[in-house]
Structure formats: structure tokens, C-alpha cells
Chain A
Amino acid sequence: DAGVIQSPRHEVTEMGQEVTLRCKPISGHDYLFWYRQTMMRGLELLIYFNNNVPIDDSGMPEDRFSAKMPNASFSTLKIQPSEPRDSAVYFCASSLRAGYGYTFGSGTRLTVV
């Protein structure tokens, strides 16, 4: 099992550009989560999906953020337009069932200049 796979590992972009982060969950996992980690706010849950359906997006900071899960093996988190305050590490995680162990990807370090 390859675990949760995120790409890219690092992304540097200019303010105003569109950024797309990608995640491949573990096969068979029904839940997928997107988190953001910053020094100031710690680990924040942005959105999560159950069986490809968004369940709770209350953590998405602004309309500039959007997430999709077109199928069970792929999810994207898009920021358009990006701003310097979006600089953070973005983690994707998946879980077999509610309350089970959550496996995290290696994260994408986003820097917006």
C-alpha cells in the first residue's frame, strides 16, 4: 500500500495565480480530509468527503478555496486567486471508516510570494 499520495511536495507561486493541490487516498478508504497547517493556527480541517461527497466545508476560509473529489481515488484543492497568507502546509488524509485511524499524506508546502 503506497499510503496517501500528495502532489506536488512543494509549490511556489506568485500572488494571484491559481494553485491546485492533488491527493490520492488509500484505496478503499471512504473518508478524505484536507487540512492546513500554519504556525499561527495549527492544524485546521478545511473540508472532508465521505464516498466522494463533500460533507462539511465549514473550514474553507474563503470562496477562493474549492475542493473536489470526482472519484474515489482522486481529490483536488484549488486556490484561485492565491494570496501570501495562503502560504502553509496542506495535508490530505484518508480513513477507512468514521473514527478509524486517519492516514496522512506527506503534505504540500505552498509558498505564495
Chain B
Amino acid sequence: AQKVTQAQTEISVVEKEDVTLDCVYETRDTTYYLFWYKQPPSGELVFLIRRNSFDEQNEISGRYSWNFQKSTSSFNFTITASQVVDSAVYFCALSGGVDSSYKLIFGSGTRLLVRP
């Protein structure tokens, strides 16, 4: 069975601090995909990144970076120099391969509050 765990329910930081959101996943599939989505107060789900299981390279996009480590089944997300507009709920998600029929399973989310 697939599972995504986001142990941090809520994080509060002061603007310009760096913050890391943790994500741990479980799957028996050898081919799978990991995602991060942002849900701002307006409610929509915004796609941030997709990573496949064969690509362990870290990725940086502006102030955002992602650290994928298969050895620890983790896919952590770091925001550098956080801003108030980063305040949102962030979801990590997993889409498994053939055994799991590529269903997209979400973690419970981490609510990030960035204070001015």
C-alpha cells in the first residue's frame, strides 16, 4: 500500500527565515512519482514539482528547492528566505507505478504561516 506522511502539521516562521517541509513516503512500486502542491488560502491546488523515482537529483527553482533521497524515502521541500505570500498548506503526494495504478495519494499537509 502507498502512504505519504507529513509529520509537521503546522510551522510558523518569521519572514526571511528558511523553512523545510518534511515528506516521507511508502510504496512497493519501483516506478513512482512524487509531487508537491501548494494550497493558498483561496483554496486551489497549485502544482509545484514532479519527480520520478529514477531521478534523485535535487532541484532548485528560485527560492524553492527539493531534496529527494530514496535511501530514506524522503522528498523534502525547502523555502529559502520565506515571504508572507508563501503562507499556505503544502501537500506532498505520491503516484505509484503499475501495482498502484498511478493513483495520486496525498499526505495530510503542512500549514505554513510566514509572519511579517
Contact = CB atoms under 8 A, between A and B. Distances in A.
Interface of A: 31, 33, 42-43, 45, 48, 55-56, 89, 91, 93, 98-104, 106-107, 109
Contacts of A106: 43-44
A109 B97 CA distance: 31
B52 A99 contact: yes
Contacts of A56: 101, 103
B102 A98 contact: yes
Given A43-B91, A101-B35, 6 more contacts: A42-B109, A99-B95, A102-B47, A103-B47, A104-B44, A104-B45
Interface of B: 31-33, 35, 37, 43-45, 47, 50, 52, 91, 95, 97, 101-109
A40 B12 CA distance: 21
Contacts of B50: 100-101
